[in-house]
């Protein structure tokens, strides 16, 4: 919709983020609940990231990619929920156009990177189960670095066109964004110019970041399912299936909500529904990722036990390093 330019419209210099719905008391309760989720998200993903870094047994491609996913899930809610929390505490809901543009770009960077990285993780599982004899050679350290670099580079480059086109549009009111962060569909509703081009570019971008990776993942798991069914051992089938199930659950949660948000027709857009979907892949999914991977992954549990045991032994050793061997023997005899 293009407003009448003959009206004396003033271009906006800042927006007002409406935030979460409800009366102030309900908002405080909801914000407190999401703050708890945010803390759990940070601690859970940081724990997995540190375990993968500290435990040599996890220095394999699968956990190398999982470490990058945990890093993304630490940054994801921090770029959207943390500003909401700060603005609520400071009682200031306004955000400048520049701040809004930066937040939108950072969100799109992280979302695009995660889309590509989840497809890379599906490829890793496909090679591990369907081509186990070639896994070590195919998934070399150099290739793993190249694939993660491709994911991050795609995340940094692909959103540039969307961000530039979005912020070249004039915004002349109303100034209220009915959302809790500067997500593109909510911002575009305030533009006082034709948004056809940016919506077309968005659909093309979704083709490369959502539909193509989704199609690749579906075909990869079809091959994986066939390979698992060919395994003669029931224990082997269960182990192969369990390594894929965690990744598949994350894929369904993330891609499902993202496709619904960015590829549905304009007539299906509703501010309240959009907020709920955004909460799903901005706050809940990053929290669920470490829970899904840790609860279903025995290697993560073993790594946690190894790291904590090692740290405890080091602390005990450091605590008694000032004692001589004779002193320790005397203490033992006294006990």
Q: What is the pLDDT of residue 124?
A: 92
- Secondary-structure percent of the chain, ordered helix, strand, coil, rounded to 5: 80, 5, 20
Rounded-to-integer distance, Cα 288 and Cα 70, Å: 11
Distance between CA atoms of residues 191 and 194, nearest Å: 8
For residue 171, give the 3-state DSSP assignment: strand
The answer as to whether 4 is a domain residue is no
Name the E strands within the chain. Answer: 14-17, 94-96, 176-177
Tens of pLDDT, residues 12-53: 778 888 877 666 677 778 788 888 888 988 988 998 898 888
Strand partners, 95: 15
Q: Please report whether residue 18 resides in a domain.
A: yes
Q: Is residue 75 one of the residues assigned to a domain?
A: yes
| pLDDT score at 316 | 43
Q: Determine, yes or no, domain membership for 335.
A: no
Q: Which residues of the chain have pLDDT under 70?
A: 1-10, 21-24, 90, 266-269, 294-297, 310-335
pLDDT of residue 175: 83
Q: Is residue 196 part of a domain?
A: yes
Number of domains in the chain: 1
* Any domain includes 179: yes
330 inside domain: no
- What are the phi and psi torsion angles at 191 (to 5°)? -75, 140
State residue 178's pLDDT score.
Answer: 83
The CATH number of whichever domain residue 54 belongs to comes to 1.20.1070.10
What domain range is 118 assigned to?
Answer: 14-303
Question: In sequence order, what are the residues at sequence separation of 6 or more whose Cβ sits closer than 8 angstroms to the Cβ of residue 211?
Answer: 259, 263
Model-wide pTM > 0.75:
yes
Asked if residue 21 is part of any domain, the answer here is yes
CB-CB contact of 71 with 286 (8 Å): no
For tokens 């909460």, the residue is 279
């Amino acid at each position: 919709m293009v407003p009448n330019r003959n009206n004396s419209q003033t271009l906006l210099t800042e927006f007002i983020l409406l935030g979460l719905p409800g009366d102030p008391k309900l908002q405080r309760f909801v914000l407190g609940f999401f703050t708890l989720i945010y803390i759990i998200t940070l601690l859970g993903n940081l724990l997995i990231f540190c375990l993968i870094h500290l435990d040599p047994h996890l220095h394999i491609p699968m956990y190398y990619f999982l470490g990058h996913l945990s890093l993304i899930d630490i940054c994801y809610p921090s770029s959207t929920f943390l500003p909401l929390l700060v603005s609520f505490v400071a009682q200031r809901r306004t955000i400048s156009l520049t701040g809004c543009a930066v937040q939108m770009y950072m969100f799109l960077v992280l979302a695009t990177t995660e889309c590509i990285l989840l497809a890379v993780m599906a490829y890793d599982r496909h090679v591990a189960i369907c081509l186990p004899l070639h896994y070590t050679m195919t998934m070399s350290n150099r290739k793993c670095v190249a694939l993660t670099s491709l994911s991050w580079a795609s995340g940094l480059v692909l959103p540039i066109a969307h961000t530039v086109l979005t912020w070249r549009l004039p915004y002349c009111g109303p100034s209220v964004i009915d959302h809790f962060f500067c997500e593109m569909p909510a911002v575009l509703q305030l533009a006082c110019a034709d948004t056809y081009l940016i919506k077309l570019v968005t659909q093309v971008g979704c083709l490369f970041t959502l539909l193509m990776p989704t199609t690749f993942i579906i075909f990869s798991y079809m091959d994986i399912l066939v390979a698992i069914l060919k395994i003669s051992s029931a224990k082997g089938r269960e182990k192969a299936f369990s390594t894929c199930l965690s990744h598949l659950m994350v894929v369904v949660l993330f891609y499902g909500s993202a496709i619904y948000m960015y590829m549905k027709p304009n007539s299906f857009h509703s501010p309240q529904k959009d907020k709920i979907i955004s909460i799903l892949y901005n706050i809940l999914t990053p929290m669920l990722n470490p829970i899904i991977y840790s609860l279903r992954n025995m290697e993560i549990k073993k790594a946690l036990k190894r790291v904590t045991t090692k740290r405890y032994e080091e602390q005990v050793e450091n605590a008694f390093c000032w004692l001589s061997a004779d002193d320790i023997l005397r203490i033992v005899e006294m006990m």
